[in-house]
């Protein structure tokens, strides 16, 4: 533990300045693509994306949650506005609660097979307008709300992380049964009061029946 908080603040500020000023200099080509406008090229990427992460800010923490649906599930309303339906999940509502307190958000869009990611920073608010919700109907189900994002910065992220991880390489896929499952974790945390093997066996069926 660092006892001197002022020392911690100083070193954090000092190293941040060193990184920004000396170690990694952003190329002009990256600076120019970082405007807040969703240009046609970015629109095509978002409309092809079935998955993104959504980062939000709370008073004493940050949250980052996965968001996924059919490609184009995030709607490009105009060149400064995105709309994301809030589909069924674990019902924690962390992201919605955070946005209600602090509007800052960040998204990272991915497209299977592409080494690129598209990053978006902006502010958001939540809409429960009935007409808007209805426009996002899938399989007869409307979302509970729609997150409306006003973009402030949009740019591609270097593809090296995806290349290094071999994320889309079929030969890199592993057997999911070798990993811990939610039921196992719930059972361990609750002293076997909830979760367990049966939970994991029936989860996929439950999820497929309640996707929207």
Please list the rounded mean pLDDT of every run of 10 residues in the chain (212 residues).
49 54 55 78 98 94 94 97 91 91 97 96 97 96 96 95 95 93 95 93 90 84
pLDDT digits (tens, 9 = 90+) for 123-147: 999 999 999 999 999 999 999 999 9
Residues 154 and 178 both lie in one domain: no
Q: Does residue 13 lie in a domain region?
A: no
Residues 153 and 179 both lie in one domain: no
The pTM is what? 0.84
Q: What is the pLDDT of residue 8?
A: 45
Residues 197 and 133 both lie in one domain: no
Would you say 74 and 49 are in contact if contact means Cβ atoms under 8 Å apart? yes
Q: Does residue 52 lie in a domain region?
A: yes
Tally of domains within the chain: 2
Q: Does residue 96 lie in a domain region?
A: yes
Q: What is the pLDDT of residue 211?
A: 87
Residues 6+ apart with CB under 8 A from 48: 71, 72, 111
Q: How far is CA 12 from CA 130, 145, 194, in A?
A: 47, 39, 43
Q: How far is CA 13 from the centre of its chain?
A: 28
Q: What is the DSSP letter of 79?
A: T
Q: What is the pLDDT of residue 92?
A: 82
Residues 99 and 202 both lie in one domain: no
Q: Does residue 18 lie in a domain region?
A: no
Q: What is the pLDDT of residue 209?
A: 87
Q: What is the pLDDT of residue 69?
A: 95
Q: What is the pLDDT of residue 7?
A: 45
Residues 68 and 110 both lie in one domain: yes
Rounded CA separation 39/17 (Å): 31
In the chain, the DSSP E strands lie at 51-57, 62-68, 75-78, 81-85, 104-110, 117-127, 146-157
Rounded CA separation 87/115 (Å): 27
Q: What is the pLDDT of residue 18?
A: 53
Residues 103 and 186 both lie in one domain: no
Q: What is the DSSP letter of 141?
A: B
Q: Does residue 55 lie in a domain region?
A: yes
| Bridge partner list, 81 | 78, 150
Range of 203's domain? 174-209
Residues 124 and 197 both lie in one domain: no
Q: Does residue 6 lie in a domain region?
A: no
Residues 103 and 192 both lie in one domain: no
Q: Does residue 7 lie in a domain region?
A: no
């Amino acid at each position: 533990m660092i006892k001197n908080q002022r020392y911690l603040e100083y070193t954090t500020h000092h190293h941040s300045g060193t990184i920004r000023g000396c170690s990694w200099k952003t190329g002009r080509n990256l600076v120019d693509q970082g405007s807040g406008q969703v240009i046609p090229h970015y629109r095509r990427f978002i409309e092809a994306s079935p998955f993104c992460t959504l980062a939000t800010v709370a008073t004493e923490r940050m949250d980052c949650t996965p968001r996924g649906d059919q490609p184009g599930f995030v709607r490009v309303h105009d060149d400064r506005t995105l709309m994301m339906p809030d589909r069924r999940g674990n019902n924690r509502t962390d992201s919605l609660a955070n946005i209600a307190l602090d509007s800052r958000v960040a998204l990272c869009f991915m497209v299977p097979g592409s080494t690129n990611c598209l990053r978006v920073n902006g502010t958001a608010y939540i809409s429960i307008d009935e007409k808007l919700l209805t426009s996002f109907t899938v399989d007869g189900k409307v979302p509970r709300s729609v997150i409306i994002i006003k973009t402030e910065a949009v740019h591609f992220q270097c593809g090296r992380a995806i290349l290094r991880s071999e994320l889309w390489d079929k030969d890199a896929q592993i057997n999911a049964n070798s990993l811990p499952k939610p039921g196992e974790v719930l059972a361990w945390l609750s002293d076997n009061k909830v979760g367990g093997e049966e939970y994991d066996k029936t989860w996929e069926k439950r999820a497929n029946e309640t996707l929207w």
